[in-house]
Amino acid sequence: MVLSRPVASLVLASAIAFSAIAAPSQLPALGASPRQTSVSGLSAGAFMAVQLQVAYSRSIVGAGVIAGGPYYCAANNEFFTGICMGQVAFFTPSAALMANFAKDFAHARSIDSLAHLARRRVYVFSGTGDTIVRQPAVDTTVSFFRQVGVRERNLEYVNTVPAGHALITPGFGNECSANAAPYISHCVVGSTGYDQAGAMLGHIYGALKPRAVAPTGHLVSFDQRAYAAAETGMADTAYLYVPHRCTAAGSRCKVHVALHGCLQAVESIGDRFVAETGYNAWADSNDILVLYPQVNRSNVPFNPQGCWDWWGYTGGNYAKKSSLQMQAIVAMVNRLTQRP
Distance CA 63, CA 235 (A): 23
pLDDT in tens, 58-71: 999 999 999 999 99
Q: Within 10 Å of residue 22's Cβ, how many Cβ atoms? A: 11
pLDDT band at 296; cut points 50, 70, 90: very high
Bridge partners, 123 (sequence order): 64, 156
- Residue from 40, 57, 165, 287 carrying the catalytic annotation: 165
Q: Of 57, 116, 126, 130, which is the active-site residue?
A: 130
**Among residues 19, 38, 40, 43, which one is catalytic?**
43
pLDDT tens digits, residue range 87-118?
A: 999 899 999 999 999 999 999 999 999 999 99
Helix axes 279-286, 196-205, angle to 10 degrees: 40
Percent of the chain with pLDDT over 90: 90
- For the cut 80, the answer to whether the pLDDT of residue 286 exceeds it is yes
CA 220 – CA 26 distance, rounded (Å): 10
Helix/strand/coil for 211: coil
pLDDT confidence band for 23 (50 / 70 / 90) = low
pTM of the complete model: 0.93
Cα–Cα distance for residue pair 133/301, rounded to 1 Å: 23
How many CA atoms, within 13 angstroms, populate the side-chain half-sphere of residue 189? Answer: 15
Cα(150)–Cα(70) distance, integer angstroms: 13
Per-residue confidence at 340, pLDDT binned at 50, 70, 90?
Answer: confident
Is the pLDDT at 316 greater than 60? The verdict is yes
What string of DSSP letters covers 98-153? HHHHHHHHHHTTSS--GGGGGG-EEEEE--TT-SSS-HHHHHHHHHHHHHTT--GG
Q: Which of 2-11, 59-68, 258-267 has the lowest mean pLDDT?
A: 2-11
Could you tell me the residue ranges of all domains in the chain? 5-337
Question: Does the CA dihedral 86-88-90-94 come out positive or negative?
Answer: negative
**Does 43 participate in catalysis according to the annotation?**
yes
As a whole number, mean pLDDT of residues 124-150 equals 98
- Rounded to whole angstroms, how far apart are CA atoms 38 and 282? 14
pLDDT, one tens digit per residue, over 33-88 is 999 999 999 999 999 999 999 999 999 999 999 999 999 999 999 999 999 999 99
What is the C-alpha to C-alpha distance for residues 278 and 304, in angstroms, rounded to an integer? Answer: 27
